Structure 1
Amino acid sequence: MLKVSSKKIKPVIVQLAPNTITWPSMKGGKVEIKSIRELRLGQSPTEQHDSRRWLTIVYVRNGQWKVVHFIAHTDDVYVAFVKALRSLVAAASDHVVPGKTSVPASDHDLLLIRQLWPAGQNRLDQNTAARICAQLGLPTDAETMAKYEPLDISAVHQLVRDLQIRPELDDLYRVLGGPLNRGQVASFLHTVQREHNLDAARVTEVFDRYASADGTWTATSLATFLASPDNVAKHEQDMTRPLPEYFIASSHNTYLVAEQWRGASTVEGYVRVLLAGCRCVEIDIHNSDNGPVVYHGKTLTSSVPVRDVCVAIKKYAFVSSPYPVIISLEVRCDVQQQDTLAGIIVDVFGNLLIKDVVEHIEGIPSPEDLKGRILIKAKAPKPPAATRTSTHLSISPPSTSRDSTDSTTESESSSHSLSIGSSPAEKAPKAVAPVSKHLASLPVYTTGVRYAGFSKLVTYESHHIFSVSERTANRILKEGSEADWIKHNFTHLTRVYPKGVRLGSSNFDPQPYWAAGAQLVAINYQTLDWGSLINHAMFHSPVGYVLKPQALRQKHPEQVQQYRLSVRLISAQRLPPAVDLYVEATLGKQSAKTRVASGKSLSRRWDDVLSFEFDAKPSHLAFTFLHLEIKSKGVSGIVAQWMRSVHDAPRGYRYLPLDDQTRSRFLFSTLFVRIDVEVLGIAPSAEQA
């Protein structure tokens, strides 16, 4: 095999073992099979190394995302290697791994059994089979196991399936009054599961799918339904509204995979966030002897050619989501290299690029109108000087190449170029970096301008977008301009980015900026902290666009309501090995815990109800988050977690999919809960007001 890095390509001998991939390296060439999170086949992120026999392995080491690239010498080697690797990943990984052989839900138990099966054995004795069942949270006895002998893998698989009759499901079945007829199921779906969009025909379809021979739902019918895709809450949204009416998943310093002062600049950052559904990426572009390159200025970060970045974006832009990608250009190069940059953008993206307004659409198009297209966000050229009257306030484009989006400086308050009633002769113009006309022609619906406040004397065109740091955004909120900002964001795009002093690429809390209607709240995806966790919960769907609440899209008065959220934490299934587990639920600043479920089995039962009362505007339910963490008593960190906004949290009885600490989805692990949200009335604070 050939191992490919940013610096060189060298031949290596790659060895596959049941638990590891190894190759000779001074740094220790090794990947744990269970740490693999993704396999990318035949997809070099650059043109330079394009090959049908390319393989990228994405894995996690010490909480950090890593990649390793290989090219097979021949087609036969490639096919054999990929087949063997897929088999190992399928057997060893308990995470969802794009690129590996897909596994039907009905076979999850079989994969777990394979992981626990002793190597080299075709059949098990009763003690070993009992131990496997116990690890799956399914205790059994010799009399039961005797019915399945000889205990080969098929027999143990059937035994495990038969043992999964859970008492909590039997309890629910009795409470609902089973066996259940069509009317009872319809009532359950509408009143408990809160599936208000299910019409009679859809209810009949669901009922018939799980009904027994006598035309009713048995306990098995109910259990099968609850674990099926039919019981996964679906949040369909209108994708035909103008872009400013959506929150848009946005990345800051996309080219980095570590800290902004010393991390590596790489196309992997773009690949990763685009596959995660991010729809706005940032490119920080500088001069070099070989043409424009991407890196973080005045730091120790490495660089990557801008063409490689564009090629990677083109390849991965629409893999996870068909909706438009916005490329935010932060240009620090001279006019000649700006022209080169513009030429590269046009050449690489071709017809994907929005170069002119979309025909037959007035104003800003919708995500649906712009499916599969790429928009460029960059600053406009500085307009010619003109005499201004005392009643006119002009907004000039940025005088620096950062388009008021500089991630490393905080000089916004002094850099706004505003003049009231002054002529050019009264105030000497600042020296500004010239802007290439070729580059300036690329933005169509996303032309960068300065933030100039919300005075009635200030006019922003519909295609104008301003970017502010969190410091300026906080000042807007503190100085009483939130209502004006919300109104502005009805019809215009706004971007908020982390302040430049966050050298470790930490994130802010995005919730206050979403609450002000800001669409492009840029997050350091490479940093696993609270801010990125909230962003992950907001954009849990790979679509990358979330329709804003009505009150943030148009004038819609609303009062603060008092709510009660109750979450019944019933049981967990197929957890990673851990002892003495409990669940901690957090809602805003409130938190509560279940009792500890002792033992070592992979399945646990609590059946505890945790309730929270809180006040919020209805629109703010979209950024009030419920965080459920499964923890082991006396051990730091988490075993598994789930997080959603109150608006998106499914109601009723659901199996919640669980993530690990790096927010990688477990393949098998689930948390069985019931979630209810009720309105208690107008909040006392609102009544007094």
Structure 2
Amino acid sequence: MGTTYKCCFIFKRRFHTRDAPPPEDVRALFSVHAGGGPHMGADDLRRYLVATGQEEAEVERLLEQIVQGRARVPRLARPLLSLDDFHRYLFSHDLNPPIRHPQVHHDMTRPLSHYFIYTGHNSYLTGNQLSSDCSDTPIIMALERGVRVIELDMWPNSTIDDINIVHGRTLTTPVSLIKCLRSIKKHAFVASPYPVIITLEDHLPSQLQEKVAKMVVEVFGNILYYPPDDTHELKELPSPEQLKGRVLLSTKPPKEYLETKLSDSTKEGDADLHLGKGTGDDAVWGKEVPDFRTEIQSAEKDDENDDVDDEEEQKLQPHIAPQYKHLITIRAGKPKDSLADALKSDPEKVRRLSLSEQQLAKAAKDHATEIVRFTQRNILRIYPKGTRVTSSNYNPFVGWVHGAQMVAFNMQGYGRALWLMHGFYKANGGCGYVKKPDFLMQTEPQVFDPREPQPVKKTLKVKVYMGDGWRMDFKQTHFDQYSPPDFYTRVGIAGVPADSVMKKTNAIEDNWTPVWEKEFSFPLTVPELALLRVEVHEYDMSEKDDFGGQTVLPVSELRPGIRAVALFDRKGMKYNHVKLLMRFEFA
């Protein structure tokens, strides 16, 4: 009987790594500053650093780190730098980052209305808007990232003797107000010394508003800022500099509320009952499984009514929480009439107006300049529409280009919109306050009109040389079971519609250290607000391309020259090693 032979094919994994040599531009740069020699001395390096715009004190610090080998860069502990040493220096994100000014450098002495403020929406939610837990953990995480505006939705607990923080009319589980306040105090100034603003969405009867006032005073003590006794309402907002280390409240001032009789079932303490805003303009709900479509509409309607005076308040009782009203620094409110009336500034007081993303988009068509003028003295808050039940976000530039200071975002998720928000607030040392560009504050010869096309002010040129670090931060089989990844880079601008675009390099096959050497050019009409978007993906012929990292950088803070650009994961956490070598030039 003959022998049967079976054939099998064995795929060998090709995981050999190849270190890419320095790009030609790096070689040319080294040759110029080394005088054509094989080494660059300390004086040569000093001249290079000065030529790239480094400040004198920063130059000496870098020289000490590089030449004496104190940085985490190998083979630099000697006075002369080879081409490879210089390349390593350029590719070090710690020594050669893409953003200038690691510290606060904007004028922080203007009123709060002159700044974009890092703002959260429903800051207590751990996940979706309908059924996730409420907790102080996402509040802590937001503050540690640099968020300066925390939103809390206040509702009575089931026995109407304490305050819960919960997304009303949903299945979200509550967390106590006192726990949230204590966590805000503990973590408020971990990332930034500048003020934390707590926006309160108030669904409380007056006796609980009095309890809120006592809690707030007890927790924050002398770091709580509120208007002086003789004014009660501010004619002009204080500056971030004046409010360093302070916490302030923003909400609709309480008025006399409808006289309400609580039902017996409410008094019995059903854990899932919520009272409507002011206990008079909404019904008391019993425990039931909600219809999610109804809940979406209800939550959206509730958000939209946050700052609207209630026309149904007919039968009034005296208000018993005067201290609570006095503690509100940024007062929210909106006339009962048209939006045009709402956008009129009162020279005797400043206030906050809230609009949903759809309301802003609608208002921007006919009232763009009025919105910009309003935001020159007052605060405009934009919040996500109620149908974003997965805690997704919207395009923040619609708010920013109209001067909206509080573009409120769901910080508990991730996605490209949230990447833009994280990137925008890398500006000004990451302190959570970014001074608005001058054109949004001008009144002469006319107020800025976002609807008008603008001329190109400058052109940003970006060159993507190479990438590295994936082999250290990812498993070898993460992108492909049998071969190294095929990386490509997407580069573009997020900004006003005329500036927004994305381009990409070709995919480099089978290489953990891809070299692209690709240059892009981006004409910018509003460079003051533009963000540079960078994403790396791994090309997959049969499936969706794999994610390899992302970052968003403020164009206004980019340092010209060849820089190391660190990449972040989907949730905005920085990788340990993944980075790109890029060049930035302005024309």
TM-score with structure 1 setting the length: 0.63
CA offset at residue 593 of structure 1?
1.8
User: Which runs of 5 or more structure 2 residues have no equivalent in the other structure?
Assistant: 1-12, 69-76, 258-275, 282-297, 449-453, 480-484, 495-499
| Aligned partners of 1:622 and 1:648 also within 8 Å | no
1:184 positional shift: 6.8
Partner SS for 2:391: coil
Offset, 1:511: 0.5
2:293 corresponds to which residue?
A: none
Structure-to-structure mapping, 1:142-221, within 5 angstroms:
166=22, 168=24, 169-174=26-31, 177-179=35-37, 188-189=48-49, 193=52, 195=53, 198=55, 203=59, 218-219=82-83
Conservation of the 8 A alpha-carbon contact between 1:329 and 1:377? yes
The 5-angstrom pairing of residues 225-264 of structure 1 reads 225-226=89-90, 227=92, 229-232=94-97, 233-235=99-101, 236-264=105-133
Alignment equivalent of 1:548, drawn from 431, 436, 441: 436
Residues 215 and 260 (structure 1), Cα distance of their counterparts in 2 relative to 1, 3 Å cut: closer
Q: Is the 8 A contact 2:560 2:583 kept in 1?
A: yes
Q: Distance in 2 between matches of 1:594 and 1:432?
A: 66
**What are the Cα deviations for residues 486-542 of structure 1, in whole angstroms up to 9, with x where unaligned?**
122122222111122222222111111111111111000112123212111111354
Judged with a 3 Å threshold, the aligned counterparts in structure 2 of structure 1 residues 133 and 435 are, in CA distance, closer, same or farther, namely farther
Equivalent position to 2:515, from 582, 602, 605: 605
Does the CA-based 8 Å contact 1:629-1:641 persist in structure 2? yes
> Could you tell me which amino acid in structure 2 is paired with residue 552 of structure 1?
L
Query: Partner of 2:272 in structure 1?
Result: none
> Partner residue of 1:376?
249
SS in 2 for 1:623: coil
- Are the equivalent residues in 2 in contact too, given 1:182–1:204 (CA < 8 A)? no
| 3-state secondary structure, aligned to 2:556 | coil
Distance in 2, Cα, partners of 1:222 & 1:567: 21
Q: Which residue of 2 aligns with 1:536?
A: 422
How much does 1:428 deviate?
8.6
Alignment partners' CA distance in 2, 1:439 and 1:132: 68
Q: Deviations over 1:593-642 (max 9, x none)?
A: 212222243x2222121223x341xxx32332221111111143411112
Task: Pick the aligned partner of 1:570 from 462, 465, 473.
Answer: 465
| Correspondence for 1:489 | 375
- In structure 2, relative to structure 1, the CA distance for the partners of 1:206 and 1:277 (3 Å cut) is closer
Mean Cα deviation higher: 363-372 or 655-664: 363-372
**Cα distance in structure 1, aligned partners of 2:531 and 2:229:** 37
**1:556 to partner: Cα distance:** 6.5
Tell me which of 447, 451, 474 is aligned to 2:361.
474
**Deviation of 1:334 (Å):** 0.9
What is the match of residue 48 of structure 1?
Answer: none
- Summarize the Cα distance change of 1:204–1:351 in structure 2 as closer, same or farther, 3 Å threshold: closer
The answer to whether the 8 A contact 2:155-2:166 is kept is yes
Q: Find the counterpart in structure 1 of residue 535 from structure 2.
A: 629
Paired residues of 1:377 and 1:448 also in contact (CA < 8 A):
yes
Is the counterpart of residue 441 in structure 1 residue 330 in structure 2? Answer: no
Deviations 1:79-126 (A, max 9, x none): xxxxxxxxxxxxxxxxxxxxxxxxxxxxxxxxxxxxxxxxxxxxxxxx
Instruction: Give yes or no for contact 2:235–2:350 (8 Å, CA) kept in 1.
Output: no
Other-structure match for 1:321: 192
Q: Following the alignment from structure 1 to structure 2, what is the Cα–Cα distance between the partners of residues 497 and 441? A: 26
- Mark the CA change 1:494 to 1:415 in structure 2 (over 3 Å): closer, same or farther: closer
- 3-state SS of 2:300 partner: coil
| Letter in structure 1 aligned against 2:240 | P
Distance 1:259 1:209, change over 3 A: closer
- Quote the offset at 1:299 in angstroms: 0.5
Over the aligned positions, Cα root-mean-square deviation in angstroms equals 3.7
Q: Distance in 2 between matches of 1:202 and 1:253?
A: 40
- Checking the alignment, whether the CA contact within 8 Å between 1:507 and 1:524 is kept in structure 2 is yes
Query: Residues 16-60 of structure 1: CA distance to partner in whole angstroms, max 9, x if unpaired?
Result: xxxxxxxxxxxxxxxxxxxxxxxxxxxxxxxxxxxxxxxxxxxxx
> Do residues 291 (structure 1) and 186 (structure 2) align?
no
Aligned mates of 1:214, 1:328 — CA distance in 2: 55
**Structure 1 residue 248 displacement after superposition:** 0.5
**Is contact 2:457–2:527 with CA below 8 Å preserved after alignment?**
no
Find the counterpart in structure 2 of residue 504 from structure 1: 390
Change (3 A) 1:666 1:598: same
Cα deviation digits, residues 124-154 of structure 1 (max 9, x gap): xxxxxxx99944x44xxxxxxxxxxxxxxxx
Residue 357 of structure 1: CA displacement?
Answer: 4.1
Compute the displacement of 1:260 (Å): 0.8
Structure 1 residue runs of 5 or longer lacking an equivalent are 1-130, 139-163, 385-398, 419-426, 679-689
Q: Please point out which of 318, 329, 340 is paired with 2:211.
A: 340
Q: Secondary structure of the residue that 2:130 maps to in structure 1?
A: coil
The alpha carbon displacement at 1:550 in A equals 1.4
2-structure distance, mates of 1:336, 1:358:
22
Say yes or no: does 1:223 pair with 2:87: yes
**One-letter amino acid matched to 1:222:** F
1:331 pairs with 2:184: no
> Do the aligned partners of residues 556 and 182 (structure 1) sit closer, same or farther apart at CA in structure 2, a change above 3 Å counting?
farther
SS at match of 2:323: helix
Say yes or no: does 1:311 pair with 2:174: no
Distance 1:435 1:640, change over 3 A: farther
Question: Amino acid of the residue matched to residue 83 of structure 2?
Answer: A
Q: C-alpha offsets along residues 450-508 of structure 1, whole Å, 9 cap, x if unaligned?
A: 166455976264442121212221222111x2222212212222211112222222211
Distance 1:457 1:321, change over 3 A: closer
Residue equivalent to 2:171: 300
Q: Deviations over 1:287-322 (max 9, x none)?
A: 112511010011111011111111111111111111
| Aligned 8 A contact 2:309 2:333 in 1 | no
Give the equivalent residue in structure 2 for 1:685: none
- For residues 377-526 of structure 1, what are the structure 2 equivalents within 5 Å? 377-382=250-255, 408-409=300-301, 430=314, 436-444=321-329, 446-450=330-334, 453=339, 459=346, 461-479=348-366, 481-526=367-412
Say whether residues 1:366 and 2:276 are aligned partners. no
Distance in 2 of aligned mates of 1:493 and 1:267 = 26
CA contact (8 A) 1:493 1:519 kept: yes
Aligned residues: 486
Aligned-residue offset at 1:358: 11
Distance 2:493 2:303 in 1: 36
Structure-2 change in CA distance of 1:214 and 1:353 (3 Å): closer
**One-letter identity of the residue aligned with 1:596:** A
Alpha carbons of 1:367 and 1:178: their partners in 2 closer, same or farther (altered >3 Å)? farther
SS of structure 2 residue aligned to 1:238:
coil
Offset at residue 381 of structure 1 (A):
3.7
Contact 1:550–1:556 under 8 Å retained in 2: no
Q: Evaluate the alpha carbon distance shift between residue 329 and residue 411 of structure 1 in structure 2; reply closer, same or farther with a 3 A threshold.
A: closer
Match of 2:128, SS state, is coil
> How big is each residue's C-alpha offset from its partner over 1:225-251, in whole Å with a ceiling of 9 and x where there is no partner?
422645333233222222111111000
Q: 1:655: which partner in 2?
A: 564
Q: 1:313 to 1:639 in 2, by over 3 A?
A: same
How has the CA–CA distance of structure 1 residues 203 and 313 changed in structure 2, closer, same or farther, with 3 Å as cutoff? Answer: closer
Q: Is residue 307–residue 334 contact of structure 2 (8 Å, CA) maintained in 1?
A: no
Which amino acid is the alignment partner of residue 242 of structure 1?
P
Secondary structure in 2 aligned to 1:653? Answer: strand
Once the two structures are TM-superposed, the CA of residue 274 in structure 1 deviates from its matched residue by 0.7
- Indicate conservation of the 8 Å contact 2:235/2:349, yes or no: no
Indicate if the aligned counterparts of 2:465 and 2:581 stay in contact, CA closer than 8 A. Answer: yes
- Structure showing greater relative contact order (alpha-carbon pairs closer than 8 Å, 6 or more residues apart): 2
Residue identity opposite 1:506 in structure 2:
S
